[in-house]
Amino acid sequence: MCGPGRPQTSLRRVTQRGAEPEGEVSPFGEEGEGPRFSYAVATLERSIRRSLGAVLRPFDVTVAEYTALSLIRRRDGYSNAELARRSFVSPQAMHEMISSLEERGLLERAPSRSHRSMRHTHLTDRGRELLDRCNTAVDAMEETMLSGVSASHRSEAIALLRQSARNLRDYPVSE
């Protein structure tokens, strides 16, 4: 990760981690065409996860925990099942994560008013403060990632990625 006080990453080091050197064809593209869109997105996703892990480590927060805390902040009252779906983890993994975050004083669970067996999750003041510090670190990482990309291109990229996800929502997948 580049940034203040950090050396720029060499092309060789990036290549060893799985990123494509500029101008080379990915294993998924046809000769001379460059990488497929899905390959480029997957490569970016791996780089983002690795970078997020690095910037969140000093806060003793995993990428999955950061995702869950961020979701809870955006909308109070998620059930464990909803959080699991939106965080891309199993319900069992989410249950364990929520229990750990609750033990650490970062969130609390309260019984649902509409379903007695359901408990909704809310951030504590300590959880909000930690998330604020994590967000500052993630903002810096994203600024590094998007350096040289205009605000309009950022908006277009977000719209493109969201539309692509919607297009695949009902795509038949055999499991």
Give the C-alpha separation, 160 to 22, whole Å: 22
**CB distance 89 to 64 below 8 Å:** yes
Segment 97-123 shows an average pLDDT of 84
Handedness of CA 134, 140, 143, 145 (dihedral sign): negative
What is the band of 1 on the pLDDT scale with cuts at 50, 70, 90?
Answer: very low
CATH class of segment(s) 37-145: mainly alpha
pLDDT range class, residue 101, cuts 50, 70, 90: very high
Above 50 in pLDDT, residue 11? no
Amino acid code (one letter) for 141? M
pLDDT at 4 over 50: no
Cβ atoms 92, 150 nearer than 8 A: no
- Find all residues with CB under 8 Å of 4, minimum gap 6, and list them: none
The per-residue pLDDT of the chain, averaged, comes to: 83
- Tokens representing 159 are 């719209």
* End-to-end CA gap in the chain: 36
Alpha-carbon gap, residue 79 to 71, rounded angstroms: 11
pLDDT grade for 55, boundaries at 50, 70 and 90: very high
Which residues lie closer than 8 Å to 79 by C-beta, 6 or more apart? 112, 118, 119, 120, 121
Instruction: Identify the band that residue 144 occupies on the pLDDT scale cut at 50, 70 and 90.
Output: very high
Helix, strand, coil percentages (3-state) for the chain, rounded to 5, are: 60, 5, 35
Selection from 25, 23, 55, 74 nearest residue 139 by Cα: 55
Give the model's pLDDT for residue 40: 92
Give the per-residue pLDDT at 90. 93
Mean pLDDT of 81-95: 91
Sequence spans of domains, the chain: 37-145
Distance CA 89, CA 91 (A): 7
pTM of the model: 0.75
pLDDT value at 18 more than 60:
no
Per-residue pLDDT at 76: 77
**pLDDT (average), residues 127-151:** 97
Residues 6+ apart with CB under 8 A from 131: 66, 69, 70, 73, 123
Q: Which residue has the higher pLDDT, 9 or 92?
A: 92
